[in-house]
Structure 1
Amino acid sequence: MTRPVPSPTWMGEAPPAPPTPRSGDRLRLSVRCVCVVLVFLCGLGAMGVSRLIETVLRRSDRPLSVHIPRLVSRATVAILGIGLTIRGRPMRHAGAVVCNHGSWFDILALNAASNVFFVAKSEVAGWPGIGLLARIAGTVFIRRDPREAAAQARLFETRIRAGHRLLFFPEGTSSDTRRVLPFKSTLFQAFFTEDLRARMWVQPVSLRYHAPSGEDPRFYGWWGDMAFAPHLEKLLKARRGGRITLVFHPPLAVAAHRDRKALAAACEAAVRDGFSAL
Structure 2
Amino acid sequence: MRYAYVAIVLLITTIVLSPLQILCLWRGWKLARKLPRYWHMVACFVLGIRIHVHGEIDRARPLLLSVNHTSWLDIVVLGRIADVAFIAKSEVKTWPVFGLFARLQNSVFIERADRRGADKQVNTIAERLAGGEIIILFPEGTTSDGNRLWPIKYSLFGAASSAVPFSPSGKVHVQPAVVAYTGIQGMPMGRFQRPIVAWPGDVEMLPSLAGVIDARALDVDVCFGESVVFDAETKRKEAAAEVEARMREMLAERLRGR
Count of residue pairs brought into register by the alignment: 244
In 2, distance between residues paired with 1:40 and 1:248?
A: 29
Is 1:132 aligned to residue 100 of structure 2?
yes
Residues 211 and 217, structure 1, Cα contact 8 Å, conserved in 2: no
Q: Which residue identity is paired with 2:146?
A: T
Counterpart of 1:203, as a letter, is: Q
User: Aligned partners of 1:199 and 1:32: how far apart in 2?
Assistant: 43
Paired residue for 1:117?
Answer: 85
1:220 aligns with 2:197: yes
Counterpart of 2:2 in structure 1 is 28
User: What SS does structure 1 have at the residue aligned with 2:184?
Assistant: coil
Mapped to 1, the partners of 2:118 and 2:148 lie a distance apart of: 29
1:219-238 CA distances to partner (integer Å, 9 max, x unpaired)?
11110310001111222232
TM-score calculated relative to the size of structure 1? 0.81
Distance in structure 1 (CA, Å) of the matches to 2:124 and 2:161:
14
Alignment partner of 2:150 out of 156, 181, 185: 181
More strand by share: 2
Structure 1's unaligned 5+ residue stretches are 1-26
Structure 1 residue 46: deviation in Å? 3.0
Conservation of the 8 A alpha-carbon contact between 1:257 and 1:263: no
Q: Distance in 1 between matches of 2:92 and 2:117?
A: 18
Is the radius of gyration larger for structure 1 or structure 2?
1
Percent identity between matched residues is 29
Aligned counterpart in structure 2 of residue 88 of structure 1, from 55, 64, 67: 55
Q: Secondary structure at the match of 2:158?
A: helix
- Map of 1:207 onto structure 2: 179
TM-score after normalising by structure 2: 0.87
Question: For residues 217 and 166 of structure 1, what CA distance do their matches in structure 2 show?
Answer: 26
Secondary structure in structure 2 of the residue aligned to 1:179: coil
Query: Which stretch shows the higher mean deviation, 130-139 or 95-104?
Result: 130-139
Distance in 2 between the 1:274 and 1:253 partners?
A: 19
**Do structure 1's residue 164 and structure 2's residue 133 form an aligned pair?**
yes
In 2: Cα distance, 1:210 partner to 1:40 partner: 29
CA distance in 2, matches of 1:196, 1:176: 36
Q: What secondary structure sits across from 1:218 in the alignment?
A: helix
Comparing 211-220 with 122-131, which one deviates more in the overlay? Answer: 211-220
User: Hey, what does 1:249 align to over in structure 2?
Assistant: 225
Matches of 2:98 and 2:195, distance apart in 1: 23
Aligned equivalent of 1:7: none
**Paired amino acid for 2:215:** A
CA distance in 2, matches of 1:104, 1:129: 12
RMSD: 2.0
What pairs up with 1:27-66 in 2 under 5 angstroms? 27-52=1-26, 55=27, 59=28, 62-66=29-33
Task: Return the letter of the residue paired with 1:199.
Answer: K
Stretch of structure 1 that moved more, 184-193 or 100-109:
184-193
Cα 1:234–1:271, aligned 2, differ >3 Å: closer, same or farther? same
1 CA distance for matches of 2:67 and 2:144?
Answer: 12
Say if 1:188 and 1:263, in contact at 8 Å, map to a contact too: no
Change in 2 beyond 3 A, CA 1:28/1:151:
same
